[in-house]
Amino acid sequence: MVKLGILEKLLPPDNKVFFDCFIEAANICKKSAILYNEALIHGIDEELLLQMKVQKHKGKDKEREVITMLNNTFITPIDREDIQLLSVSIRKINKKICKAFMNYNLYKITRPTEEMFQQGKVIIKATTELTHCVSLLKKLHKIQAITDSRNTMKEIETLGDDVLYRATEELFSGKFDPITVIKYRDIYKDLEDALDKCTSVADIVLNIAAKNS
């Protein structure tokens, strides 16, 4: 592979390639969310487990790709700190979704709760909006569109908070034994963390737009 020349390092990447990477990373999160929902509906077999492991590695690889590219580029389309923060934040979303899936498998859950189904749908909505939100980085001048996306993400977060409240209320209603409470709570928390991080990314994108408008 030909090494980057000095001139190539001085120039911003063609076609805002960093932004393309963010979109790809967000799509990895969305795919992981879809796989998690498949686990809830159909259960986990070896093929689905393998697919999720691949998704986990894809998230790490994409972050590594961005950081490597960042280290080899002198002039970037947005602040270097923002590029690194976005890359790390999106990878953490995928990590949390994958962790929820793996715990679901590890804990041998065969009858998901209604709140698990609802939370699963919410995380698909959030990762879908995440992809849209980061795609707007290519149009930083469209502050209103970015603001609208951020507000949509906040609405999704509120929906997720409502689901978590009902799930927590159900967990401590006395219907479940202590071990089951711990298992379910772990899964609920991982997806809630993923949802919170989706909102954080939307805030970061809006802040970037404000700085570059």
What's the pLDDT at 27? 98
Question: Strand, coil or helix: what is 115?
Answer: helix
Mean pLDDT for each consecutive 10-residue tract of the chain (213 residues)? 45 68 97 98 96 97 94 88 96 98 96 96 98 93 94 98 96 93 96 97 95 82
What are the counts of helices (DSSP H) followed by strands (DSSP E) for the chain? 7, 0
pLDDT number for residue 141: 84
Tokens representing 123 are 């995380």
Amino acid 3: pLDDT: 47
> What is the per-residue pLDDT for 163?
97
Dihedral angle over CA of 111, 116, 118, 120, nearest 10: -110
**Model pLDDT, residue 29:** 98
Instruction: Scan for tokens 């707007």, then name that residue.
Output: 136
pLDDT (0 to 100) of residue 1: 40
Inter-axis angle of helices 143-171 and 178-212, nearest 10:
170
End-to-end CA distance of the chain: 37
The two tokens of residue 6 are: 């000095």
Residue 139: the pLDDT is: 87
> CB of 94 within 8 A of CB of 59?
yes
Residue found under tokens 């998901």: 112
Q: Which of 26, 22, 128 is nearest to 83 (CA)?
A: 22
